[in-house]
Structure 1
Amino acid sequence: MMTSLTSTYHAWTWLEPGEPEQLRLVEQVVAPPGPGEILVRNTMIALNPVDWKVIAQGPAEWKPGHVPGVDGVGIVSAVGDGVSVPVGGRVAYHQAIGKPGSFAGYTTVDADCALVVPQGVSDESAAGIPCPGLTAWQALTKVPDMPNRDVLVTGAGGAVALILAQLALRRKWRVWATASPIHRERLLALGIAGVFDYRDGGWCGQLTDALGPRRLFAAFDTTSGAYARTLAPLIGYNGHLVCIQDRLDAPPLSPFTTALSLHEVALNSAHGHATAEDWREWRHAGAQLLEAVQIGTLDLQPHVVIAFDDLPTSLSALKHQRIKGKKILVRVEMTRHYR
């Protein structure tokens, strides 16, 4: 089923590994979705660090003319066979890295990864959920829900870690965080026990003093594999080290010491390996996150909305940290980019 569609739209396309500014704006033709797919007319695009990273690397399956972008929000304009998502409904989605992405007027996605956006949730808020929110959810599912535990979340000023810290608080854990001092008061107001400046070389000692005789049950790292390795000594017996950014290929501690469990987080893996039951859990988790936004119980990173024409330069600003502490969103205007 398909609504009345414009025949063409504009998309930012990739030509070769490099900087975001190398993306090229081209006109493309709208194509109907296949079985199990939906065609989304994008209204809001969210920029994520993974976007500039894959643009720089150039995955093997990308060919010149590929459209990047993993996160978007929009209106369902057409559905393929076997799809129950209604035409005209509003959805948020996380696209597979290997498929044509969200940096366009239209994106075709598998219906499995579409999250229905409830009334009362703005496009801006919905766009901040798929990649950051579902990554945070996946990270949390790695660790058993055991009461009265201490956990650490690094980089809590970022989109993923901010959501993760709040989900951890819902488990009645005592949550500690690292962040820039500008985020300290906001994080403490959420109920986080203590916020440490990651640039202070003595922050690990400060955390150890604050813990007293207790040890961390888990550490969730959003920085790098090398940084995650330095957190391992802070984690107690039978604890967990969760790598959201990068992974550890070798144990950070000697065997048979604290019996540390290592976990990697890779949201994109769902697109290649998730079962039908996995997708149901994915959509359920996404629905819970959007509901929390709707009722005001989940704080998101502040955002800035930019024009579609400014997408490459804004993605470069994200990469080179010229914009910090804010989610960059891209508004797609029909009057400007469609005919």
Structure 2
Amino acid sequence: MKAWVHHETGTPDVLRLEQRPRPRPGKGEVLVRNRAIGLNPVDWKFIDWGHSSWEWPHIPGVDGAGEVEELGESVTHVAPGARVAYHNDLVRPGSFAEYTVVPARALIPLPPTLPFAAAATIPCPALTAFQAVSKVPLKPGAHILVTGASGAVGGILLQLAHRRGWVVHAVCSASQAARVKRLGAATVTDYHRAEWREEVRERTGAQPLQAVFDMVSGEHAATLAPLLAANGHLVCIQDRQERAPLPAFTTTISLHEVGLNAMHGYADDWQWRSLVTAGAAIAADIAQGVVDPQIVEISAFEQLPEALARLKSGPNPGNRVVEL
């Protein structure tokens, strides 16, 4: 099979298109023929960082969509030819190839009308967003803040939150304000303005924020903790809070970390069923046109490194996808 591999760490231009042995699925696994690949920041980051568990040369990529080609031992809940999307463990050979071996429990079933390019946007961005909103037990009408609201994860999180009846205050660049409002934001604040936090505080004075979803960093999220109401929730999509950002026995906020890849090492089968069920529901909503997959670019497989480099350099008002 053809696969993009790297023999060393570095920028996306270290990737080389090579002929590699077509893998075979083991027990509890399936072989997927990839039709589309979702590109994510974690892809270029780990190409640069490497991982101690990798065998070299390594095939990167965590997200893909395609058809089940072959079943491994003990796989009975899916049939060859089934249309699926998946998030693969980043320590395994990945999706930047014509074929990828995937744990069967990670397969997201797809409706027949959903294009593979749209399906490839679901695993990392949408499942991360689903995990994040599932952390907080808020009722309809709750006011929340979403930073990075115009990005791949932020945009789908905004849509999921809006559909739960939450009032979303979005933070993004002014150039994306109109699009973010179409996705469901009640207000939009331009993060380029030095006083944007004070603007958010003024806007939410009558209805204090019950949750903040931050896409930037743990350090950045800590600066937003004072915006939360008592017993609010601070959810970190990037990084985590290593120490409490506020004094004890003040607003007593709850701290949450989100890490989709951790599911591969620590989640049980029941948790995976819950996650892929959520993914299937999002896939159906995209197929029906009620959720926007936010595709900003579809590239050919042969141009994958260049597309990944554009993802790295940004800006990325949505998802970049590669088709085979």
TM bucket by the smaller chain?
over 0.9
Runs of 4+ in 1 over 3 A off after TM superposition: none
- Secondary structure of 1:187's partner? helix
TM-superposed deviation, 1:186: 2.0
- Secondary structure of 2:20's partner? strand
**Is there any run of 5+ residues in structure 2 with no aligned partner, and where?**
none
Q: Which residue of 2 is the match for residue 14 of structure 1?
A: 6
Answer yes or no: is 1:60 the counterpart of 2:52.
yes
Q: 1:302-336: CA deviations, max 9, x gaps? A: 33111222111221121122x5324221111xxxx
Q: Which residue of 2 is the match for residue 331 of structure 1?
A: 323
Aligned counterparts, 1:89-108, within 5 A: 89-108=82-101
Between 302-311 and 74-83, the greater mean CA deviation after superposition:
302-311
Give distance in 2, aligned partners of 1:110 and 1:302.
26
Give distance in 2, aligned partners of 1:75 and 1:170.
30
- Give the count of matched residue pairs: 323
Between 113-122 and 27-36, the greater mean CA deviation after superposition:
27-36
Answer yes or no: is 1:38 the counterpart of 2:30.
yes
Between 300-309 and 70-79, the greater mean CA deviation after superposition:
300-309
Answer yes or no: is 1:197 the counterpart of 2:157.
no
Letter in 2 for 1:300: P
Give distance in 1, aligned partners of 2:248 and 2:8.
43
Q: Which residue of 1 is the match for residue 297 of structure 2?
A: 304
**Is there any run of 5+ residues in structure 1 with no aligned partner, and where?**
1-8, 333-339
Letter in 2 for 1:114: L
Give distance in 2, aligned partners of 1:127 and 1:60.
27
Quick one: structure 1 residues 286 and 326, their matched pair in 2 at CA, closer, same or farther if it must change by over 3 Å? closer
TM-superposed deviation, 1:132: 0.4
Aligned counterparts, 1:104-143, within 5 A: 104-143=97-136
Q: TM-score, normalised by structure 1?
A: 0.92
Aligned counterparts, 1:131-280, within 5 A: 131-280=124-273
TM-superposed deviation, 1:213: 2.8
TM-superposed deviation, 1:15: 1.9
TM-superposed deviation, 1:14: 2.2
Give distance in 1, aligned partners of 2:208 and 2:175.
27
TM-superposed deviation, 1:214: 2.5
Give distance in 1, aligned partners of 2:86 and 2:316.
24
Give distance in 2, aligned partners of 1:284 and 1:325.
26
Give distance in 1, aligned partners of 2:70 and 2:115.
22
Query: In structure 2, which of residues 21, 26, 32 is the aligned counterpart of residue 29 of structure 1?
Result: 21
Contact 1:15 1:63 in 2 (8 A): no
Give distance in 1, aligned partners of 2:106 and 2:60.
17
Contact 2:143 2:167 in 1 (8 A): yes
CA RMSD of aligned residues (A): 1.2
Q: 1:11-63: CA deviations, max 9, x gaps? A: 11122221111112221122321111110111111110010111111111123
- Secondary structure of 2:170's partner? strand
Q: 1:172-192: CA deviations, max 9, x gaps? A: 111100011222112223332
- Secondary structure of 2:86's partner? strand
- Secondary structure of 1:282's partner? helix
Query: In structure 2, which of residues 284, 294, 299 is the aligned counterpart of residue 291 of structure 1?
Result: 284
Q: TM-score, normalised by structure 2?
A: 0.97
Contact 1:20 1:52 in 2 (8 A): yes
- Secondary structure of 2:261's partner? helix
